[in-house]
Every structure is written in C-alpha cells, then in structure tokens.
Amino acid sequence: MEKLERFEQGLKHPLFSIVGRRIILLMVLLSSFFTILTTLLQLSWDYEEAFDHVDRRHAEIQNVHADLIASSLWVFDLVSAQNRLNGLVNLPYIDYLSIEFDGVVLDAGKPLTTTSVDSQAELSYFHPDTDRRIHLGTLRVKSDAQKIYDLLLQQFVVTLLLNGVKTLIVCSLILWVFHQSVSQRVFAIAKHLSHFDPVEPIHEPLQLTHRKLIMEKSDELDWLADETNKITLRMTNLYKNIALEQARLSDFTNAASDWLWETDATQRLTFCSEAMQVALAISVENHPKVKSVPVLSHCTSLIHCLDTCDDFTMCEEKITLGKHTYYFVFQGIAHFTGQGFTGFRGTAIDITELKTTQLELEQLNQSLEATVDARTQDLAQSMENLKAAQTQLVESEKLAALGSLVAGVAHEVNTPLGIAVTANSVIKDAVSTLNSAFEQKTLTSEQYSAVMKQVTDGTNMLETNLNRAARLVRDFKQTAVDQVSESRSQFRPVQTLEALMGSLRPETKKVPVAPIIEGDPHLAMSSLPGVLTQVISNLVMNSVRHAFEGIPEPDIQIHIADKGETVEIRYTDNGVGVAPELHQRIFEPFYTSSRGKGGSGLGLNLVFNLVHQKLQGKLHFDSNINQGVTVVLSLPKFLTETPAPQTESSTG
C-alpha cells in the first residue's frame, strides 16, 4: 500500500492514524504503569492500616477487658465472663475468643481454620489484702486474616477496573481530538507540498480548517502552514533566480576573454567558451579530446595534469595561434561522484603581457647581479671589521673590569697590612720594655703581666689582620685566575661566588651593599668557573653603578638551586629597576644609561653572550620601575663541550 493511501485511510478513521496509535499506546502503557503503582501503594497502606487496627483491638482486650474478665472468674461468675466474651466477639476485627480457667473452657465466636492473627494474655486477679496477683487462666484472641486479604483484593480489582475504564475513555477522546486537530491538518500540509511544482507554482496559498473548542485560532500547525507558504514562495523565486543566473553566466562566458572549459572522464571537451572555440578552431558538438586538438597536442604539462585526475593550478603553457605566440595558465577542478571521476572544469588565463614583462625583468636582474655581488663583498668586509672591533672592545671591557678589581683589592689589602705593621711595632716596644726591666732587675709581677697583655693583644691583632690580608689575596687570586682562564673544571658555585664577593668588596662597600649568597655549598658543576664569575661580577657592578641611587637599604641576593640537569642562579636587587620598554635594549652592545660617566655599554652585552655562547645556558630578565631587577640564569650542570669564543650578541 502506498504512503498516500495510508494517509488517506488515516483521515477516514482515527484508529488508522500511525502517530495517534503510537501516542495512545504510550499513554495506555504509562497510565497502566502508574495506575498499578499507585494502586499497589494504596493497597500497601490499607494492608498496614488493617493489621494495625487488629493489633490495637487485641491490645485493647488485653489491657482493658482482661482485668474485668479476671474479676468475674475470681468470684466464679462464669455467666458474666461468658457474656463479656460474647460482647467482645462482636467488636470489629475480633472473630474468636477463648478462656481456659481451672479446667473449664469458655469461648465465643467460631473457631478459625484459615490464616489468623493470634494473641493471648494471662488472666490474673489483684488481691487487695495481700497486694499480689493470683493467676487464674489464659485469654486467647483470634482475628481472621483471610477476611482482610479478601477485602484488600476486592479493593485492588475494583480500583484497577475503574482506572482502566477511565483510561479507555480519556484515550479515546484524546485520539479523536488528535485526529481532528493534528492528523488531518498535517496531511493537508503534506498533500500541498506533494503537489507543489516550482516551475508551475500553485498560486493559491495553503489554508487549514479550524474546529471550534478543540483548536486555537493560531497554533503551531497554522505557523507551520505559514512557513510552508513562505518556503514555496521562496522556492519559486529561487527557480526564477537560477534561470536568470544561468542566462547571465552564459552571457559572461561568451563575453569573457579568458577560456572556460569542461571535460568528461575520457578528456573529451564537453564545453568551451566561445572565445576558446574560435581560437582553437574547434566545435564542442564533436566532443574532441584534448590530445587531438592540434594547438594543444604539444602541451605536455596540461595533458599530464589531466591524466592525474586531480585538482591542478598554475599549469603554464606556450601556445602558438597563427603567427603569434601566447602564454596561458591552465587550472582545473576535478569532479567525482559515487561512480568515480567524472571530469574537469577549469579556466585558461592569457598571461602573455605578464610573461613578456617577466622576461624583461629577468634580463634586468642579471645586469644587477654583478653590482649586488660587488657591494655584498664590500659589506662583508665591513662586517668582519666591525666584528673584530667588537671583539677587541669586549676584551678591553674584561681587562678593565679586572684592572678595577686589582685596584680595589690593593686598597682593601692596605688596611689589614697597616694594622699588622702597627701591631708589630707595639709588640717590639713591649718586648724592649720587658728586656730592659729584666736586665736592670726592676721587673715586677704587675709590670710583667701588663707587658705580656700588650704582647698578647698585639699578637692577636697581627694574626687577625694578616689572615684577613691573606684571605683577600687568596680570593683575588682565585677570582683573577678564573676571570682570565676559560678552561672547563669541576667547582662548587657557592664557594666560587663567595670568593668573588670578597674580591668585589672594595666596590660594593661604596654603596654600601653586602651581596648574600644562598644555596647548597656541596653542589658541584663541571663548567667554566671563570666565565661564571665574569657574568656575576658584571651583574653586581651593574647594580652598584646604576641601581641604588636613592635606595636607603640596598640589597643584592644570589640564590643557587639544583634543578636536576641544570643549575638555576637567581640574581635579584631592590634597586630602581628598568622600564619594560628598555628590556630588549639593555643587552645591545654600547647601550648604556651612564653615557659620559664611565659606562661603556658592554657589561650586560658581555653577560648575554657569555651565558648563551660559552655557558650554553639561558637568561631571563624581569624588572620594572622601582621594583628592582631579577636575572635568572639556567646553566647546564655538566658542560658538554667548550664552545668557540664568540662575542656577537642578540637582544635578550
């Protein structure tokens, strides 16, 4: 049965509606599920309530009526006890009671043979004279549980039947309303679309029928009908525009100077613009192959691109038309369908004028190459001279720094040596006084103690200052040797930099500032200690000269940390800082903020080159105005090879 016939049957009767049947089925299933669920819950509540009533009734007999029955039995009033049992058996949920008393059995109601709820209580009489209870017998109470089960089952079945009837009525009404308000109107929209033809459009718009009470004047289906009318109108306009664009494209193709072409899977020309047909003297109606066109038969690059069955561009070919030579650039787009390759569509652009200009430019470039080569040689020679000058300036900067260090250390050594000479004079005078008094036999114990105290103090002063001078000379010697030497060796950076700080003390105390070195004293490196001391020395001197003007409490900290394969040296000061826009310039050669005050502009440039080229490490610089400077050096712990000396720099 066709789809249209099934829809027409759905319009005749609601039960033939596929969507309606599915909705009703889902509603019945959901309604049945929730009905059974709620009924079971209600049944559970009724069950609990019924047996709760039974328990309360049994408790009432045991707590209230048992004492009355015991009083009757105590006076042997069996008639009164039997009457009480007959009265209690008429209470709700009580079906049978019995009393066992001194071999006598009293009962009321019918004995139960089905499932029952049983309970019993001891009958005892409280004697007021002796204040004790006397056991008389046993009271048994039974309630028929099967009666409760039957009642609950009856309620369950009745509830299900009522809900089933209600669900059937509601579903029938919903199916009829759905059929009237949805199915018929949806079919009207589908039928309108099935008869729509954009070439010969239906001029009358779609209008849906409305039924009072079950439909709104403007609902979702009315909105769908309006959108359907809009779509059909747009489709009509679209077909008109497509026809107009086809005519326009045909006119552009015939009027264009570029060639437009199309081939099939066998490289036969199925379309050519009029200009191409005239130039090649072919007719597209014959569908000639590209290879068989005389003018194109020698175009090997074009034929190769067509053989690849793939998109191609910039396929340049030289074509002779008549007595003139032309240059064309072919490009094509390959088209594929589910059956495979179907052909190409492409263009051919005349670039004859551009090609002629290119050839002229090539001839001009050839004439310029000789001049460029000569000037390049001159520039190369000038660059070599500049590199040599820069190398010399950097070496001069290193020697100047070492000379300044020598002068400072010499001045610093003079102080302890002067004190040592003074102490030596004091000792000599004390010894002379002691010898004179001894020879004259006028030496007293008090004089001896005073003179020996002078000798001891002078000796301590002499020893302390000589050790201080020796330490300064040793640190200077180690620093000087390190700065001059560039040989790789095993060293401990903490100890090496502490020795360097001792040599730099004549400069740092001018500020004054005492650089603090933190780190593991046992950490070892295999690198270039002289290069490292040169780098740290330049950083410290740069801070001393530029950073602490107007800073009340200058501070320099050097933190050395082990990072596994690398050693991180973090240099910080709390000086005036460097503006962010100057971060790239401070490492340039000859850039200095102290031009005319002794600054050469090579200190930080030397730092950058030594870190990157000789220590094979990385340098990170961070600073801001009035926030000090932070320089982080990441150096390999074990230098693999000593690089060749270089002094070129790049901005950091």
pLDDT digits (tens, 9 = 90+) for 188-205: 777 777 777 777 756 677
- Residue predicted with more confidence, 237 or 19: 237
pLDDT in tens, 544-555: 888 888 888 999
Please state the φ and ψ torsions of residue 90, each to the nearest 5 degrees.
-85, -5
pLDDT in tens, 71-117: 888 878 888 888 888 888 888 888 888 888 877 788 888 888 888 88
pLDDT at 78: 83
572 pLDDT exceeds 50? yes
Q: Alpha helix locations (H) across 195-299?
A: 220-255, 274-280
Report, as an integer, the average pLDDT of 431-457. 79
pLDDT at 2: 59
569 pLDDT exceeds 90? yes
pLDDT at 646: 45
Q: How many residues does the chain have?
A: 652
Please state the φ and ψ torsions of residue 23, each to the nearest 5 degrees.
-65, -45
Hey, what are 106's tokens?
């009293």
What is the percentage of the chain residues whose pLDDT exceeds 90?
15
43 pLDDT exceeds 90? no
> Torsion over CA of 484, 488, 490 and 496, rounded to 10 degrees?
30
* pLDDT class of 481 with cuts at 50, 70, 90: very low
Residue type, 129: D
Q: Is 443 exposed, middle or buried (0-12, 13-18, 19+ CB in 10 A)?
A: middle
* Residue 341 contacts residue 309 (beta carbons within 8 Å): yes
Q: Is the pTM of this model over 0.75?
A: no
Classify 584 as helix, strand or coil: coil
- Residue predicted with more confidence, 603 or 37: 37
The radius of gyration of the chain from alpha carbons, rounded to an integer in Å, stands at 57
pLDDT at 603: 66
Report the distance separating Cα 636 and Cα 652, nearest Å. Answer: 19
Report the distance separating Cα 232 and Cα 193, nearest Å. Answer: 8
How far out from the chain centre does Cα 336 lie?
A: 40
pLDDT in tens, 608-628: 888 888 889 999 999 999 899
Report, as an integer, the average pLDDT of 448-471. 76
pLDDT at 120: 87
* pLDDT class of 563 with cuts at 50, 70, 90: very high
* Arithmetic mean of pLDDT over the chain: 80
633 pLDDT exceeds 90? yes
- Residue predicted with more confidence, 258 or 14: 258
pLDDT at 554: 93
Helix axes 529-546, 352-439, angle to 10 degrees: 90
522 pLDDT exceeds 90? yes
Report, as an integer, the average pLDDT of 326-347. 91
pLDDT at 596: 42
Report, as an integer, the average pLDDT of 500-510. 83
Lowest mean pLDDT among 46-55, 154-163, 296-305, 433-442: 433-442
647 pLDDT exceeds 50? no
> Torsion over CA of 312, 314, 320 and 323, rounded to 10 degrees?
150
pLDDT at 5: 62
* Residue 123 contacts residue 138 (beta carbons within 8 Å): yes
pLDDT at 592: 64
pLDDT at 566: 94
Report, as an integer, the average pLDDT of 559-571. 94
Report the distance separating Cα 275 and Cα 302, nearest Å. Answer: 19
pLDDT at 401: 54
pLDDT at 1: 44
Report, as an integer, the average pLDDT of 263-286. 87
Hey, what are 12's tokens?
């005749």
Hey, what are 500's tokens?
């360097």
What is the percentage of the chain residues whose pLDDT exceeds 70?
84
pLDDT at 280: 86
pLDDT in tens, 346-405: 999 988 888 888 888 888 887 787 777 777 787 777 677 766 665 665 555 555 555 555
β-pairing, 516-518 vs 556-562, is: parallel
458 pLDDT exceeds 60? yes
pLDDT at 645: 47
